[in-house]
Amino acid sequence: MARDQIDTQPIESRDELVAWLAAGCKDTSQFRIGTEHEKFPFTLKGHDPVPYEGPTGIRALLEGMQALNGWEPIMEGEAIIGLADTVGGGAISLEPGGQFELSGAPLKTIHETCAEVNGHLEQVRAVATPFGFGFLGLGMSPKWTRAETPVMPKGRYKIMANYMPKVGTHGLDMMFRTCTVQVNLDFASEADMVKKLRVGLALQPITTALFANSPFTEGKPNGFLSFRSEIWRDTDKNRTGMLPFAFEEGMGFERYVDYALDVPMYFIKRGDTYIDVAGSSFRDLLAGRHPAVPGETATVSDWANHLSTIFPEVRLKRYLEMRGADGGPWRNLCAQPALWTGIYYDTAALDAAWELCKSWNAEDRQALRDAVPRLGYKAEVAGRPVLDVARDMVAIARAGLARRDYRDSQGRDETRFLTPLDESLAAGRTPAEELLARYEGPWQRSVEPIFDELAY
């Protein structure tokens, strides 16, 4: 999750909210790629979760990384909860259960993105290994109960944890036991945003299948290939899902603002204090009549923070966030941004991707979304197997990356980052199915080997 914004400029009208989103439009020469990835810390001895406090806890890890990379600490009261690279624009933050997230800097190529991931993982290893813990790339923690999972000292998470059980059955699992890899990409205009949002929403379940990697819960198969994706189906229906309105006539920034205004708030932040306003209306804050802050109007920070508490399959901020992929092994961390960059940052590829899914109706898209967590490539959409659609999608992305033609120092283009997807599609098996086969075979029905084989 993004770090909270600090901008106390008042916002007094819906038009200003729309203008704030529209200010995200960029010239194509300014398009960048921002990759976020989360991972589970675990003790090398015993494969237990890592607490926040203690001489070898998460706090000590953050302090050690700060000493190594010189980034600015992000504090909440006395607690260090993240690090910010004030020069490059990246950040390290904590998810509710201690999941360790790199929010990458906005970069021009996948080569740079992969170098950034590499550098980060090397730094993390350098600090964590002497402490006796490692990091796991998976969509859901495979072993620990919620009760065993530590809680990070962040005010917004306390508010969310209190609210989640009121609005769905899986919200706490989402917070404490899942990890994702996400890519954030730009748009040039309102029309470009709408087209990318529609393509992203329609094809996001295909991405979920390609990266499905969460088949275990509490030491046993859970019946799903992406249980992380299944969890999102019953977290909070007011702020998740496939956004059918995005495909309707007249879609644009205004329509998304109206949707966001109707999503209940979690909190209002004033100074360092989180005020629990879970379930209340942003419209009241905008009108200066929110009972929690009488007489105060909304600020830019309030709006940016509110948008960060909405969790559809593709999220609109001043860029688009692709939210369908499970956390995974190192090579998949670069495959996910490569897939969407190839589609979004090449005009012919974006057109081809729209051709692939434009005939699907809202029922088709929802049925696909509902089936993929359990069935993966074996799901169907509008009569076509997901495996076939996924092959088409990856081929479109490859052509887009080839036309971009960004080369590394060895003369290689960005298409090589799609290799893990090629292998999965050739085998016709999702990453989760590969794990389940190992569980039934060489792992002898134990999840313990996962901590070696999928560690960074």
pLDDT tens-digit readout, 210-264? 999 999 999 999 999 999 999 999 999 999 999 999 999 999 999 999 999 999 9
**CA 273 → CA 53, 276, 347, 372, 415, distances in Å?**
22, 10, 45, 40, 46
What DSSP string describes 104-131?
A: PPPBSSHHHHHHHHHHHHHHHHHHHHHH
Q: Is residue 1 part of a domain?
A: no
Average per-residue pLDDT for the chain? 96
The pair of three-digit structure tokens given for residue 288, joined into one six-digit string: 């200066």
Residues above pLDDT 90, as percent of the chain: 97
Residues 6 or more apart whose CB falls under 8 angstroms from that of 141 comprise: 40, 49, 97, 149, 177, 178, 179
The CATH number that applies at residue 435 is 3.30.590.20
Task: Give the residue from 165, 163, 204 showing the smallest Cα distance to 183.
Answer: 204
Q: Is residue 3 part of a domain?
A: no
Q: Is the pLDDT of residue 166 over 70?
A: yes
Q: Is residue 2 part of a domain?
A: no
What is the structure's pLDDT at 7?
Answer: 83
Q: Is residue 4 part of a domain?
A: no
**CA 3 → CA 28, 101, 103, distances in Å?**
26, 11, 9
What is the structure's pLDDT at 3?
Answer: 52
What is the structure's pLDDT at 46?
Answer: 97
What is the structure's pLDDT at 2?
Answer: 47
What is the structure's pLDDT at 5?
Answer: 60
Bridge partners of 314, per DSSP, are 322
Q: Is the pLDDT of residue 165 over 60?
A: yes
Q: Is residue 254 part of a domain?
A: yes
State how far the Cα of 388 lies from the Cα of 276, in Å rounded to an integer: 46
**What integer is the mean pLDDT of 261-278?**
96
Name the domain count of the chain. Answer: 1
Q: Is the pLDDT of residue 154 over 70?
A: yes
pLDDT tens per residue across span 39-75: 999 999 999 999 999 999 999 999 999 999 999 999 9
276 CB neighbour count, 10 Å cutoff: 18
State how far the Cα of 383 lies from the Cα of 365, in Å rounded to an integer: 12
- Amino acid residing at 421: L
pLDDT tens per residue across span 299-347: 999 999 999 999 999 999 999 999 999 999 988 999 999 999 999 999 9
250 CB neighbour count, 10 Å cutoff: 8
The structure's pTM equals 0.97
Residues 6 or more apart whose CB falls under 8 angstroms from that of 196 comprise: 185, 187, 320, 344, 350
259 CB neighbour count, 10 Å cutoff: 16
Q: Is residue 5 part of a domain?
A: no
Residues above pLDDT 70, as percent of the chain: 99
**What integer is the mean pLDDT of 413-437?**
98
Q: Is residue 409 part of a domain?
A: yes
What φ, ψ does residue 314 adopt, rounded to 5°?
-125, 130
Q: Which residue has the tokens 């098996």?
A: 429
Residues 6 or more apart whose CB falls under 8 angstroms from that of 93 comprise: 1, 2, 3, 74, 81, 82, 101, 103
Length reported for the chain? 456
- 372 is in which domain, residue-wise? 10-453
**What integer is the mean pLDDT of 81-110?**
96
Q: Is residue 130 part of a domain?
A: yes
The pair of three-digit structure tokens given for residue 307, joined into one six-digit string: 């948008």
Q: Is the pLDDT of residue 6 over 90?
A: no
pLDDT tens per residue across span 72-88: 999 999 999 999 999 99
Q: Among the listed ranges 84-88, 171-175, 349-353, 440-444, which one has the minimum average pLDDT value?
A: 84-88
- Amino acid residing at 417: F
What is the structure's pLDDT at 4?
Answer: 61
